[in-house]
Structures are given as C-alpha cells and as structure tokens.
Amino acid sequence: MKMSVGLLDHYNVSTRNLKATVKFYEDVLGFENGFRPQFNFPGAWLYSAGHPVLHLNDISETDREQRPDSGVIDHVAFGSRGFDAMKQHLTGKGVSYRVNQVPNSTRWQIFLRDPNNVEIELNFETKNELAA
C-alpha cells in the first residue's frame, strides 16, 4: 500500500480562556461549536465546512502551563475565499491583521492571531477576486 498524507485534520490549542477562544473562532472565522466526545477534561471542538478542525482543551482548572506563544507551531493555514470581504469583516470586528502577497503569484494571505496568540494564515487564490 502506498503511503500518503491528506489534508489538515485538526489542530489543538490548550487554553485558559475557553469561552473567549470559542467566541473568537465563531465570530471572526465563522466556525461552529459542535459535537465533542465526552473526554475526561473540558474543551470544545470547532467545525469548519462540517469538519472539526480545531480542538480546544480547557486547562483553566489545572496547574498545566500555557505557553505564552504558539510554541513550535509557527501558524495554522486555511484555504479561504472572499479576500475583500474577509478584510472588511476583520476590520469590523476590530481584529488586527496583516496582508501579504505571495511573490510571483495571484495568492494573497491574511495573517491574524487568536486569543491564545496562535497565528492563523488565511490563503486566497485571488485570480478571480479583486485583491486591492
């Protein structure tokens, strides 16, 4: 059998502020808080396009340390659509972001951070969108 690795399944964030983190992903990126198995620790699973892409572990009632940054994870990236609409949405929500154009391409990126300082990269193939 030939080995292959597929698309991103999920990423996991340990948080001391579960409520604010869930609200951020719901309000800013449009994720949905959905079904999560009954683990023996609190948390949430946030869904995008029907798939639980973000698993949150609530560590607020533990002595486990929360890193001040995203540790060895540099960022998490999502394919996205609606470049201009996303910029307007983020501005309306008061979320800081930066924009980058991938050199020699029609791909634009928006970078932002969640309440746990995890950097999120949104990729837009804008050959059919206005990038300015």
Quote the radius of gyration of the chain (alpha carbons, Å): 16
Task: Pick the more confident residue, 131 or 7.
Answer: 7
Query: For residues 131 and 126, what is the distance between their CA atoms, to the nearest angstrom?
Result: 6
Query: For residues 131 and 19, what is the distance between their CA atoms, to the nearest angstrom?
Result: 33
Residue 131 has pLDDT above 50, yes or no: no
DSSP 3-state of 98: strand
Which architecture characterizes domain 7-60 according to CATH?
A: Roll (3.10)
Chain mean pLDDT for the chain: 87
Confidence bin at 55 (pLDDT 50/70/90): very high
Task: Pick the more confident residue, 101 or 126.
Answer: 101
Please give the class, per CATH, of domain 74-132.
alpha beta
Same fold, 7-60 and 74-132: no
Could you state, in order of their start, the residue ranges of all structural domains in the chain? 7-60, 74-132
DSSP 3-state of 19: helix
Write out pLDDT tens, residues 20-50. Answer: 999 999 999 999 999 999 888 899 999 999 9
Residues contacting 30, CB < 8 A, separation 6+: 48
Q: Residue 90 is which amino acid?
A: L
pTM of the model: 0.80
Between helices 18-29 and 83-93, what is the axis angle to 10°?
140
